[in-house]
Amino acid sequence: MKKSFRPYLAFLFMGSLLTFSACKDEEDPEPDHEHDVVTTVTLTLTPSNGGQPVTATWEDLDGPGGKAPEIDQLVLSANTTYTGSISFASEEAHDDHHHAHDLTADIRAEGTAHELFYFANPQGLVTFTKTDKDANGRPIGLETTATTTAAVQGKLRIMLKHQPGTKSSTSNENTGETDVDITFDTTVQ
């Protein structure tokens, strides 16, 4: 009777190991890619024919919830082409000082998993063309050209999407997770 019992004991032992392993895998899943909370976004547009750069900043130092973000108005000249860049930072308040971490280089380094999207309303307000590319030759959107035509008022919406493993030539604002979604009141004069 002992000989016939041993195979069952072995199978019971193996089954408990498999169950324990499966439970352990469920309890300790692969960690998601951690992101710093973006608290500051700065859009800089420099007229290609010379002139002073135009800067607009979106700032939410206490992060999501809490106080409303402080948002600059973006004021551009009509019939002008700009060279654009956008930067992202995470700022943490400790006592009476702020520690800022520039996230722009990280986004650029992880360009195959990130893309920026620019939406103007009305559509003719300002037109953005992404000029930088990731390692696969796909647009990132940290560097742009922006073109205005007629004087008009509206809104410029900027979205930073995190698209690990999903960024492709057909990716759009609905692909991946949203890291940042901000809007600037915009005047072209």
pLDDT by residue (tens digit) across 43-92?
999 999 888 999 999 999 887 888 999 999 999 999 999 999 999 998 86
The HSE-up count of residue 44 (CA atoms within 13 Å, CB side) is 11
Are 8 and 61 contained in the same domain?
Answer: no
Are 23 and 45 contained in the same domain?
Answer: no
Residue 41 in contact with residue 74, Cβ under 8 Å?
no
Residue 98: which pLDDT band, with cuts at 50, 70 and 90? low
96-100 contacts at long range (C-beta below 8 A, 24 or more positions apart): 98/61, 100/40
**Is residue 148 assigned to a domain?**
yes
* pLDDT score recorded for residue 97: 54
**Is residue 35 assigned to a domain?**
no
**Is residue 62 assigned to a domain?**
yes
Query: What is the DSSP annotation of 12-81?
Result: HHHHHHHHHHHHHHHHSPPPPPP-PPP-EEEEEEEETTS---EEEEEE-TT-SSSSPPEEPPEEE-TT-E
- The average pLDDT across 5-27 equals 44
Are 108 and 23 contained in the same domain?
Answer: no
- The average pLDDT across 105-129 equals 96
How many Å is the Cα radius of gyration of the chain? Answer: 25
Burial 48-57 (b: 16+ CB within 10 A, else e): eeeeeebebb
What percent of the chain is modeled with pLDDT above 90? 67
Are 86 and 178 contained in the same domain?
Answer: yes
* pLDDT score recorded for residue 48: 95
Full-prediction pTM beyond 0.85? no
The answer for residues whose C-beta is within 8 angstroms of residue 180's C-beta and 6 or more apart is 38, 41, 88, 158, 159, 160
Two tokens at 189?
């004069």
Domain count for the chain, please give it.
2
Closest CA to 119 of 187, 189, 183: 183
47 cis-preceded (ω within 30 degrees of 0): no
Are 58 and 90 contained in the same domain?
Answer: yes
Please give the span between the terminal C-alpha atoms of the chain, in angstroms, as a whole number: 95
Q: Give dist(CA 126, CA 148) in Å, integer.
A: 5
Are 92 and 160 contained in the same domain?
Answer: yes
* pLDDT score recorded for residue 10: 44
Whether the pLDDT of residue 181 is over 70: the answer is yes
Give pLDDT tens digits for 136-177: 999 999 999 999 999 999 999 999 999 999 999 999 999 999
* pLDDT score recorded for residue 64: 80
**Domain that includes residue 4, residue range:** 1-30
Give pLDDT tens digits for 25-56: 444 333 344 557 889 999 999 999 888 999 99
Residue 40 in contact with residue 88, Cβ under 8 Å?
yes
Residue 175 phi/psi, 5-degree rounding, is -90, 130
